[in-house]
Amino acid sequence: MRQIMKPVIQCAINFSEGRNSKIVKSIVDAAQSVPEAVVADYSADADHNRMVLTILGGPKPIQNAVLAAARTAVELIDLASHKGGHPRIGAVDVVPLVPVQGITMQECVATALNLAQNVAETLSLPVYLYENAALSNKHKQLPNLRRGGFERLMAEGLAGDMAPDLGPHRVHPTAGAVVIGARGPLVAYNVNLDSA
C-alpha cells in the first residue's frame, strides 16, 4: 500500500529583533498558538539584532502561524530606532517558504502568494515577492531588495524598481516592508573569528 505524505512546508521567518527577550518570546508564543503549526526552532542574535523562527506545517497552518507572529512583530518592533549588523527592510523582514515533503515548489509559490496577499491586507504592509514567487525579475534576488535597508526605503519611497508587488505604496513607519517567497533549502552559518 502506498503511503500518502502529509504536506510540510518549512518557514524560517526573519524578524528584526534579537535583543529584547520579551519581544522575541511574544513572537514565538504567537506562532506556537496556531494549531498544526510546529515551532521547530528559534534563535536570536544580539549583534545582528535579528531572530530566525523556524515553523513547520501544511500550507494553511504555516500561513496562520506567520500571520500571528507577523502581527505581533508589527505591534512591538520599531525599525525607526532599530540598530543591528544585518541588512533589513522590515520588522518582519523575510518569509521564505521551503517545500519539505508532500508538496511541490509550485504549491509553495501559491501558498506564498496567498500569504503575501493576507499580509498586505491585514497588516497594511508593502510586500515584495522574491525567488520562485517573484512577479518581477527586479525583485527575484533578496540582496536587490535589501540594498540600502529600511533607511533607503524611508528616504526614497516605494517607486520605480522599489514599488511593492502588493500592499500600500508607502513604507510602514515602524514596520517597513516585508519580503515573501518560495525557494529551495538554504544552509547558512556564522563563523566567529578571533582576530586578536
Question: Has residue 15 been placed in a domain?
Answer: yes
Q: Is residue 51 part of a domain?
A: yes
Query: Where is average pLDDT lowest: 1-10, 19-28, 158-167?
Result: 1-10
* Location of C-alpha cell 533589513: 88
Q: How many helices (H) and strands (E) does the chain have?
A: 5, 6
In a domain, 55, yes or no: yes
Q: Per the domain annotation, does 90 fall within a domain?
A: yes
Tally of domains in the chain: 1
**1 found inside a domain:** no
- Tell me the CB-side half-sphere exposure of residue 105, using CA atoms within 13 A: 9
Distance CA 164, CA 175 (A): 15
- Domain annotation covers residue 25: yes
> How far is the C-alpha of 28 from the C-alpha of 111, rounded, in Å?
21
CA nearest 180: which of 166, 170, 195, 192? 166
Amino acid (one-letter) located at 12: A
Known catalytic residue: 86? yes
21, 100, 88: which is closest to 59 by C-alpha?
100
pLDDT digits (tens, 9 = 90+) for 48-107: 999 999 999 999 999 999 999 999 999 999 999 999 888 899 999 999 999 999 999 999
pTM of the model: 0.93
Give 3-state DSSP helix, strand, coil % of the chain, rounded to 5: 35, 25, 40
Domain harbouring 146, CATH code: 3.30.990.10
What is the distance between the alpha carbons of residues 36 and 167, in angstroms, rounded to a whole number? 28
Is 191 part of any domain?
no
| For range 178-192, the mean pLDDT | 83
Of 88-92, 130-134, 192-196, the range with the lowest mean pLDDT is 192-196
Q: Residue 188 domain-assigned? A: no
**Hey, what's the cell of 95?**
518569509
Q: Which residues, in sequence order, are bridge partners of residue 194?
A: none
Task: Choose, from 48, 86, 139, 172, the residue flagged as catalytic.
Answer: 86
Domain of residue 104 covers 8-182
- In the chain, alpha helices (H): 21-32, 59-76, 105-123, 142-146, 149-156
Counting Cα atoms < 13 Å in the Cβ hemisphere of 163 gives 6
